[in-house]
Amino acid sequence: MADAFSAAAEPTRRRLLQLLAAGPKTVSELAEHFTATRPAISQHLAVLADAGLVTARKEGRHRHYSVVPAGIAQLRAEIDRFWSTELELLVADATKRATTHPEEHHS
């Protein structure tokens, strides 16, 4: 099984996951949101499926793709594992500094 983090990071696949999070959709429906051709979207979906993030349910001549909750949970776990305590503290420090001294942001 592929690395969920890497699979989900690609911009097109990121959007695909967001679109599918709102509910199941067919490949053609999804492809309408992109400039890329339908086969390209189909291949992206295959990558996501290989990472266990989406699955397809066959229904007539349609293929309804939907998100796999367990896969999304695993992706979440990967993100959380990456997002260590140290990084969390750094962000907390950064946002605190930004709200306290907004103009000290010399570019």
Partner DNA sequence: CGAATAGGTTAGCGTGGACTTACGCATTTG
Partner DNA sequence: CAAATGCGTAAGTCCACGCTAACCTATTCG
How many angstroms separate the CA atoms of 72 and 29, rounded?
A: 21
CB of 14 to a copy of itself, least distance (A): 6
Compute the C-alpha angle 23/64/71, nearest 5°: 65
Residues in contact with DNA by CB under 7 A are 10, 12, 26-29, 35-40, 42-47, 56, 60-63, 65
Decide: is 102 part of the binding site for a copy of itself (CB under 8 A): no
CB of 61 to a copy of itself, least distance (A): 27
Question: Which residue has tokens 């695993």?
Answer: 74
From a copy of itself, DNA, none, interface partner of 69 (C-beta below 5 to 8 A by class): a copy of itself
Q: What are the distances in angstroms from CA 76 to CA 4, 11, 67, 73, 83?
A: 9, 17, 13, 5, 10
From a copy of itself, DNA, none, interface partner of 39 (C-beta below 5 to 8 A by class): DNA
Decide: is 40 part of the binding site for a copy of itself (CB under 8 A): no
Question: Please, which residues have CB within 8 angstroms of residue 15's CB and are 6 or more apart in sequence?
Answer: 33, 34
Whether residue 49 contacts residue 1, with contact meaning beta carbons closer than 8 Å, is answered with no
Q: For binding to a copy of itself (CB under 8 A), which residues are involved?
A: 3, 5-6, 8-11, 14, 17-18, 21-22, 67, 69-70, 72-73, 76, 79, 82-84, 86-87, 90-91, 93-95, 97-98
